[in-house]
């Protein structure tokens, strides 16, 4: 299989050099070329025919957002990884880039660290993202569907909480799902989206501006309420703890799981423990396997699982891993997930009422 060809676009000579050296350290990647501006990049794309582009956001002249818009117009399917700074402005621009079709992003090393030393962690993450976006780390063949032994029985329990996990492509997937839920949504919603600090708060604010639901970045000790959505803050695991009828959020900085903090597995284990069979877990687009073990806990407790399909996922890593570990009650294209959520919650309530009535 030929190596993945990558075009590096950054106005900094130092960053171009470091990224180039990082990429050629992998035998699976070939440096197709570099460009110091958006205009040069657009001219080079038809010449070097890259499989993936890394694109700096803050460039003079044609900036990263403008360059991305033109790339999307000319090459709709070409994967683009944005490079941004870990600042509020950088986070806001990155979310804009993702909404315009960027495939993924990385944050640059901070000035306080040794640039060459910090680039080692960037190198590992960048190579992982490139190979996934190029389809080199595809999941093994999966059955079309397999039911788990603890699959929920219709009418057994009503859904009391919605838990969502996602990663690469997640901000756009969440923007497709959350705003379609009505203001009188009858259960609380908890979300893990793999993102660093600042990014998660701005993501919550962006979703809140688009939604009928109240969407906030989670805080320790918050009481869960229907019609509200809480997004785990970057660098913190989020769990749900139930005492009597009240359920609250707890945040911690215990070690990362699946190289992630927040981790979907941590959240899913906690909702399975706190809500038993009354859980609807949804796993959408994302690299890796975070959520697979947690989904198995949800399944063992009798909860329901819905995953996004491969065709509409930016990367079908997390959903496929969940299917392998826990099965799925439904595999949905992204535009149908909100409708499936509403249908399942409504039918669980109707069935539960009917069950109670039949025993009176």
Q: What is the pLDDT of residues 69-85, one digit of tens each?
A: 999 999 999 999 999 88
Angle between helices 170-177 and 334-358 (to 10 degrees): 50
* pLDDT 10s digits, 269-317: 999 999 999 999 999 999 999 999 999 999 999 999 999 999 999 999 9
What is the C-alpha to C-alpha distance for residues 230 and 214, in angstroms, rounded to an integer? 8
Active site residue 347: no
The angle at the Cα of 333, spanning 332 to 335, to the nearest 5 degrees, equals: 115
Provide the pLDDT confidence category of residue 146 given band limits of 50, 70 and 90: very low
Catalytic residue among 10, 26, 84, 194: 194
State the CATH class of domain 161-358: alpha beta
What is the C-alpha to C-alpha distance for residues 267 and 48, in angstroms, rounded to an integer? 43
Among candidates 21, 24, 89, 26, which has minimal Cα distance to 57?
89
Burial level of 298, CB count in 10 A (0-12/13-18/19+)? buried
Phi-psi region of 244 (alpha: psi -120 to 50; beta: other; left: phi over 0): left
CA torsion, ordered 122, 128, 134, 137, to nearest 10 deg: 180
Report domain extents, the chain: 4-133, 161-358
Max intra-chain CA distance, the chain: 76
Please state which CATH number belongs to domain 4-133. Answer: 3.40.50.2300
Provide the pLDDT confidence category of residue 155 given band limits of 50, 70 and 90: very low
Active site residue 194: yes
What is the C-alpha to C-alpha distance for residues 260 and 196, in angstroms, rounded to an integer? 10
Other CB atoms closer than 10 Å to residue 5's CB: what's the count?
A: 17
Tokens linked to 333: 């294209």
What is the C-alpha to C-alpha distance for residues 62 and 64, in angstroms, rounded to an integer? 7
Catalytic residue among 51, 104, 265, 290: 290
Catalytic residue among 26, 103, 167, 211: 167
Q: Which residue has the higher pLDDT, 149 or 297?
A: 297
Same fold, 4-133 and 161-358: yes
> How much is the pLDDT for 358?
52
* pLDDT 10s digits, 188-233: 999 999 999 999 999 999 999 999 999 999 999 999 999 999 999 9
Using DSSP bridges, classify how beta strands 304-308 and 330-332 pair: parallel, antiparallel or unpaired: parallel
Cβ atoms of 305 and 328 closer than 8 Å: yes
Active site residue 313: no
Q: What is the average pLDDT score of the chain?
A: 90
């Amino acid at each position: 299989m030929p190596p993945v060809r990558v075009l590096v676009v950054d106005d900094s000579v130092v960053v171009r050099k470091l990224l180039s050296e990082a990429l050629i350290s992998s035998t699976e990647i070939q440096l197709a070329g570099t460009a110091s501006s958006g205009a040069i990049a657009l001219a080079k794309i038809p010449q070097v025919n890259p499989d993936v582009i890394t694109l700096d956001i803050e460039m003079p002249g044609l900036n990263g957002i403008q360059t991305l818009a033109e790339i999307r117009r000319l090459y709709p399917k070409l994967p683009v990884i944005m490079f941004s700074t870990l600042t509020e402005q950088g986070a806001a621009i990155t979310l804009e880039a993702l909404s315009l079709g960027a495939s993924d992003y990385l944050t640059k090393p901070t000035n306080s660290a040794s640039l060459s030393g910090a680039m080692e962690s960037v190198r590992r993450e960048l190579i992982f993202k490139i190979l996934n976006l190029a389809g080199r780390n595809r999941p093994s063949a999966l059955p079309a569907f397999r039911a788990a032994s603890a699959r929920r029985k219709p009418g057994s329990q009503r859904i009391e909480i919605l838990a969502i996990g996602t990663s690469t492509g997640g901000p756009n997937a969440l923007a497709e799902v959350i705003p379609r839920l009505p203001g009188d949504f009858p259960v609380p919603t908890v979300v893990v989206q793999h993102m660093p600090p600042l990014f998660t708060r701005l993501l919550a604010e962006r979703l809140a501006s688009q939604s009928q639901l109240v969407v906030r970045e989670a805080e320790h000790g918050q009481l869960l309420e229907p019609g509200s959505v809480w997004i785990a803050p970057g660098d913190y695991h989020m769990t749900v703890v139930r005492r009597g009828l009240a359920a609250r959020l707890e945040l911690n900085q215990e070690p990362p799981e699946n190289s992630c903090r927040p981790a979907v597995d941590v959240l899913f284990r906690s909702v399975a423990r706190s809500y038993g069979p009354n859980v609807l877990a949804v796993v959408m687009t994302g690299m890796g396997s975070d959520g697979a073990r947690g989904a198995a806990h949800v399944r063992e407790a009798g909860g329901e699982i819905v995953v996004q399909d491969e065709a509409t996922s930016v990367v079908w890593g997390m959903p496929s891993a969940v299917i392998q570990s826990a099965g799925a009650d439904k595999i949905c294209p992204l535009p149908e997930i909100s409708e499936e959520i509403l249908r399942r919650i409504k039918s669980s309530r109707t069935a539960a009422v009917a069950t109670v009535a039949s025993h009176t």
